[in-house]
Chain A
C-alpha cells in the first residue's frame, strides 16, 4: 500500500497546481466584481500549460511575476517564498527529491489507516477520534481513486475514461 504514496503524488501534483491556479483566477474575478483593481496574471488552460504559467508567475524578473503584480497584494499563502503553496508545488514538480514531507505524511496516514483498520477488524474496537477516522478514510479514498484514474488514463482509450456529464 505504501508505494501508492509516490504514485499518488505524481498523479495528483499537476491537479494541485491547477486547483491553486483556478483559485487565483476566480479570486481575481471576484475582486474585480466588487470594483476593486486587480492586476494578477491568471492561468488559462487554453493558453498555456500549468507548469509554464507557474514558472512565469514565480519568476521575480518576469513581467507577469507576482513580485510585480501587486494590486492588491498577492496572498502570501500562495506566493510566499518559503511557505507559498504554489512554490511548494512548483519545487516538487521540478525536483521530486524536494518537499519530502509529502511522501512522509502520506505514508504516515496510510500506516495509521491500516492500523485502525486492523484494530476494528480484529478487535471490533474503534480508536482515534471520529474526525481523524473520517480524515484518514477520505485521504485513503482520494489516494485510491486518483491512482486508479491515473492508471486508467495510461492504459485505456480516452473515450472510456472521460467524465460523464
Chain B
C-alpha cells in the first residue's frame, strides 16, 4: 500500500483507496477539543480542498453537513435562480444582499434542517448586538425563514425546521414627515439656482494643483480631479435637469405614491376629468385610487404640458424623454434636501432634547397644558382676567348669586398675577362682591382691564415676568405665570390646537436658542402671540370620497362650502370642504379649519351615517395676496402612530343594560339618558366625543342593536 504523507498538519491521504483523514485541535480549547473526519476524495487536490473546508468548519465550530439535507450555501447555489424567478427584480436584489452579507457568512455551512428557530433567534440577537435596527434585523431573519419555506416548497427538505416562534425585534416606526417649513423649503429648492450653484461650489471636488509630466511642453501648471464649476454652462444645464424633476417630487409629496410607482406612472393612470390617479401598486399588486389635489393637478399638467404623451407613456420623463432612474431620483432628492437645509430625522424630538433647560421645561409645560389627552384637572383653564372683567361688567345677572360668588373667587385668584404685571394697576384690596353686587372699586378696575391697549401691555408684561422666572429656574413661579398667560389668551379665541402648534413651531421646531436668553425668549413670546389677526384665509380640505344625500348641506349650521360632485346615477359624492377663516397665521387657519371639520364629520356621521375623513394635506390660501401654503394633518409631538396612551373614562357599557340588574323602567331611563348624552356630545363636536366616547354618539353598533330591538 502506498501511502502519501505530506507536511500538512492533521492531513493524510491514501491515493490507492482515495481516503483522506483529517484531524485538528479546535483553536482556543487548549487541545481539549479535537475534530476528526474521514472522507473519500478522487485526487490529492480534491482532498486538500476538503481538508481546507474541514478546518474552516471546525474553526467556526460548525459540524459537517449531513448528506440528508444540503447546506444553506448549496441550497442558495442550486435554487436561488428559481426563487429569483418568483419575485420582482428589486426584491431579488434585496434577498441577495441579505444572503451574501449576513446569512451565508453565519449560516452558510449549516444544513437546512439544522436552521431552527433557536438558530434564527441567535442570529437575530447577534445582529441586534452589532447595532442593527430592529426592522433591519427582522428583515434579514424574514429572508432566512422565507428561504426555508422555499426549501420545503421545492421538496429539498420534508418540513419546516422552525418549530417555535421566531423572536421579532421591536421595529422603530418611521416618523420623518416634513414640517410645514421644511416642505416649503424643499419645494422652493428646485427653483433656487443660487442655492444650487452654492451647493455645487461646496460639493464638487476641488482641483489638486500638480505639475504635469508634460508641463514643460504645455508651458503651464495643470490641475487634476476638479468637478463641475458652479459658474459654468454645465452647471446651468445640470440645474435645468434638476429643476425639471420638481413636478415629480411635488406629486410624490401630494399623493404619497411610492417612488417606483411614481416613476412608472403612465398617462392612462390619470383622469383629470374625474380627478383620480388610479394604478396597480407594484409592491402589493393592489389597485389604488388617489384623488388629485390642486397642486398635484398643476404639477401633472406641467409634466405633460410639453409633449403629446400616449396612454402608455410615462408621465415623468427626463429631458431625453426617458423615465427617471432610481439613481437620478435619489440624487435630485438629496440635492434638494441639501439646498433646503433638511438634515434631521425625527426633528421635533431631537430639537426638544437640545433645548436649554428652562426653555425645555416651559415648552413641555405649555404643550402639556394644551394637549388633547391631558386630564381636565391639568389642562389650561381658559378664564383670564379680561374674561372675568367682561363677564362681571356685561354678562352675569345679579340674581345668580352662586355664580357671582364663584366669579368673585376667580377674580381674587386671578388678581394674584398683578404683582408680576407692572403695566396694569394692582387689584383692589376690598372684597369683590358686596351683597349681590360687584364692589365699585372692582368695577373700575375691570374697566381698566378692558381698555383696548391693555391686551398688548398684558402680553408684554407676561413675557418679561415669565422670562425672569425661567432664567432664575423658579419653576413654581414660571408655572403660575404660564397658566395665567394661557388663560389670558382665551380672548384671542385661539383653539387649544392652535396654541399647541404655535409654541411647538416657534419654540421647538424652529428654535435656535442654544443658551437660554431672557430677552430673546420674551421677544419670541411676544412675537408669537401678537401677530396681527384679521387676515383672511381659505382652507381647502380633501375628504375621502363618500356618497351623500343631495340636500345634506342643510345639517350644517354655518355656511360652509362643501365640494360635491354628481356621479353616475345622479348620486352626490362629497369630495372636500372649503372654509374661510380669520387667523393670524396659516398654521392657525389650518387648526381652525380642522376644528370646524370635526364638527362637520360628526354631523355627517350622526345624521346621515356617512363616514369620511380628511386625506392628504390642507391647502391654505391667503386671500389678500393668493399665497398658497400646504399644511400637513397634525401629527403627535414625538411619538409614532397615534401616540394615544390614555385610558379615558367612559359610561357603563351596554352589557350593564342587558343584565338583569336593571328593571325595565331603569332600562328605559338609561337609554333616554344615553341618547341625551350622545346628542349633546354630537353638538359639542370638537372631536372630543368621537375620540373619548366612541361607543356613544349613536355608534353603528348601538344603532343596529336598537333597531333590532325595535323590530
Contacts and interface: CB of A to CB of B under 8 A. Distances in A.
Given A19-B645, A127-B391, A149-B652, A134 B686 contact: yes
Given A34-B346, A75-B360, A118-B400, A135 B639 contact: no
Contacts of B360: 73, 75-76
A27 B334 CA distance: 30
A105 B377 contact: yes
B703 interface: no
- Residue among B357, B475, B654, B686 with the most chain A CB within 10 A? B475
Given A26-B645, A33-B175, A135-B376, A152 B656 contact: yes
B107 interface: no
Contacts of B686: 134
A33 B395 CA distance: 52
Contact of A145 (B381, B643, B649): B649
Given A73-B357, A115-B406, A131-B382, A31 B376 contact: no
Contacts of A106: 377
Contacts of B650: 145, 149, 163
A36 interface: yes
Contacts of B575: none
Interface string B368-393: 10000101111101110001000100
Nearest to B173: A33
Interface string A1-37: 0000000010010011011001100110011111010
Interface residues on A, range: 35 or more
A132 B387 contact: yes
Most buried by A among B403, B490, B653: B403
B647 A15 contact: yes
A128 to B, nearest CB: 6
Interface residues of B, number: 67
Interface string A62-90: 00000000001101110010110100000
A123 B20 CA distance: 107
Interface string B486-525: 0000110101100000000000000000000000000000
A30 B638 contact: yes
Contacts, number: 172
Given A27-B638, A119-B403, A142-B376, A76 B396 contact: no
B549 interface: no
A131 B494 CA distance: 9
A55 interface: no
Nearest to B131: A35
Contacts of A109: 376, 381
Interface of B: 172-173, 175, 345-346, 349-350, 353, 357, 360-361, 364-365, 368, 373, 375-379, 381-383, 387, 391, 395-397, 400, 402-403, 406-407, 409-410, 475-476, 479, 490-491, 493, 495-496, 638-640, 643, 645-656, 659, 661, 681, 684, 686, 688, 693, 695
Q: Please name the 3 residue pairs, one residue from A and one from B, whose CB atoms are nearest each other, closest first.
A: A115-B403, A145-B649, A139-B376
